[in-house]
Amino acid sequence: MLQRRAASANLVSKAGDTVMRPTYLLPALLACAACVAQPQAGPASQAAQACFWPSQVSGFSDAGPDRALVRIGTRETWELTLSPGCPDVDWAMKIGIKSRSGERICSGRPAELLVPNASGSGLRSCMVSSVRRLSPEEAAVDGQTSAP
């Protein structure tokens, strides 16, 4: 009988506090070791493979219908395009994000946004149809960056 291991995701409050930490460090360490072993690629392929770890998310905000922005530290902002009918991120006090293909959240790979129910029990999930890193100019327009 095969058992499935529950996927872990970080929940991040709007203030940027991590609420839940990942419980499986070994796969993350192995994935990190695999990243180090890869040869350096040119700038075009690096931009296409831009990724972040869910644990790096330091905050989030609503960016209009079917759009959310997540901050990675103080210098990066990523746009998540959500599938229609997703929970309203504007009213959420915390969210989680997890990859549906591997450990990291990357441009061009499927992801899932997790929003706690208003009652505090359980999570509602939402498919993320697109993930992309915003340029500093785009992030400034959205008011998400801090001074360099």
Q: What is the pLDDT of residues 28-43, one digit of tens each?
A: 433 444 444 444 444 4
Q: What is the pLDDT of residue 111?
A: 94
The confidence band for 117, taking pLDDT boundaries of 50, 70 and 90, is: confident
pLDDT above 90: residue 6: no
pLDDT above 90: residue 87: no
pLDDT above 90: residue 77: yes
Strand order in the sheet with 111-116: 10-13, 94-99, 111-116, 123-133, 76-82, 67-72, 57-62
Average pLDDT of the chain to the nearest whole number: 74
Which of 3, 11, 5 has the alpha carbon at shortest distance from 125? 11
pLDDT above 90: residue 82: yes
More confident residue, 5 or 54: 54
Q: What is the pLDDT of residue 38?
A: 45
pTM here?
A: 0.65
**Average pLDDT for residues 41-69, to the nearest whole number?**
79
**Average pLDDT for residues 12-28, to the nearest whole number?**
50
Backbone angles phi, psi at 82, to 5 degrees: -95, 150
The confidence band for 65, taking pLDDT boundaries of 50, 70 and 90, is: confident
Q: What is the pLDDT of residue 55?
A: 93
